[in-house]
Amino acid sequence: MTARIIDGTLLSKRLRSDKVAQRAAALTERGYPPRLAVILVGNNAASQIYVRNKIKACEANGLHAVCDYYPAELIEANLLVRIDQLNRDPRIHGILVQLPLPPHIDAYKVIAAIAPEKDVDGLHVVNMGALMAGKPLFRPCTPYGVMKIFELENIPLTGANAVVIGRSNIVGKPMAMLLVEAGATVTICSSKTRDLAVHTRSAEIVVAATGTWNLVTADMVKPGATVIDVGINRDDKGQLCGDVDFAGVHKVAGHITPVPGGVGPMTITMLLVNTIAAAEYAAG
Ligand code: GUN
């Protein structure tokens, strides 16, 4: 068997023209141009690329983006003051603080300072709690994008065995919760799990999100399984790659996402979807 390669760029393109650009235009016509505020602290190279791509995607789809760039030495209190300003600004519908933050800044405290109705990243404790209760206002963008992939590719989740590898607040934990909500039987593993293959071999769905190059290899995958690669790493030649050995797993899986061009574009698309939803909510 060779897996069907899920083209996240193509799926995103369709969603952006069907579900984002039209709604953005309608909001603008009603006098509520959707606007996202992005905050980047420090000079993490990967974060700079992600933020640039998020802003470009906003601008290409009729959303406005404003970005604050701060040096790594930024004082936490000053960041909290800026978030308070953005919370009160009615022209701003979504606020995103790019992670990671420098170690002297408490990311939990910063995210908790964002008004939950503007937390388009879905990372505020209120939105995380609401996700747990099955009623999220915003779903975190990467797991939301993965759920969209399952929907658009007609991958059944009810009763499926799903293994999520990774336990971060941004991906692993919310991913597991969304899969549970969809009726899957979910096991949460991590890069530290003993004999990871024992778990993955019985899974119809594997989501890898640890940031470990070549963590998931062909011998660990059940034939026909759907393998979603959320990792973004560099291999020994400096090439962008995920957590999954794509060449090997492609021969065994039923569906597979590539890196790049799989989950990445879907994450940005769901950020746009969440920002539009926040603007629609504000517009009443
Ligand atoms: N850093 C890596 N992924 C993300 C994300 O989805 N949101 C934020 N805010 N920071 C990130």
**SS3 call for 271:** helix
User: What pLDDT digit, counting tens, does each position of 183-227 carry?
Assistant: 999 999 998 999 999 999 999 999 999 999 999 999 999 999 999
| Residues 255 and 166 reside in one and the same domain | yes
Which residue among 13, 18, 48, 54 is the active-site one?
A: 54
Q: Is the same domain home to 147 and 260?
A: yes
The answer to whether residues 258 and 177 belong to one domain is yes
Asked if residue 186 is part of any domain, the answer here is yes
Residue 193 sits in the same domain as residue 249:
yes
Q: Is residue 26 part of a domain?
A: no
Query: Do 178 and 110 fall within a single domain?
Result: no
Ligand 1 mean position, distance from CA 11 (Å): 20
At 210, which helix (H) or strand (E)? none
Same domain, 259 and 173: yes
In a domain, 284, yes or no: no
At 259, which CATH number? Answer: 3.40.50.720
Q: Which domain holds residue 162?
A: 141-264
**Residue 85 is among the residues annotated as catalytic for this protein:** no
Indicate which atom in ligand 1 lies nearest the CA of residue 96: 9
pLDDT over threshold 90, residue 1:
no
255 within 8 A of 224, measured Cβ to Cβ: no
Tell me which residue of 112, 126, 148 sits closest to 12, measured CA to CA.
Answer: 148
pLDDT tens-digit map of 66-112: 999 999 999 999 999 999 999 999 999 999 999 999 999 999 999 99
**Does residue 185 share a domain with residue 90?**
no
DSSP H helix total and E strand total for the chain? 11, 11
The two beta strands, 35-41 and 64-70, are: parallel
Closest residue to atom 2 of ligand 1, CA basis: 99
Q: What is the pTM of this model?
A: 0.97
CATH number at residue 108: 3.40.50.10860
Does residue 127 fall inside a structural domain?
Answer: no
Number of domains into which the chain is organized: 2
Distance 141 CA to ligand 1 centre (A): 8
Tell me the residue ranges of DSSP E strands in the chain.
4-5, 35-41, 64-70, 94-97, 161-165, 185-189, 205-208, 226-229, 233-234, 240-241, 255-256
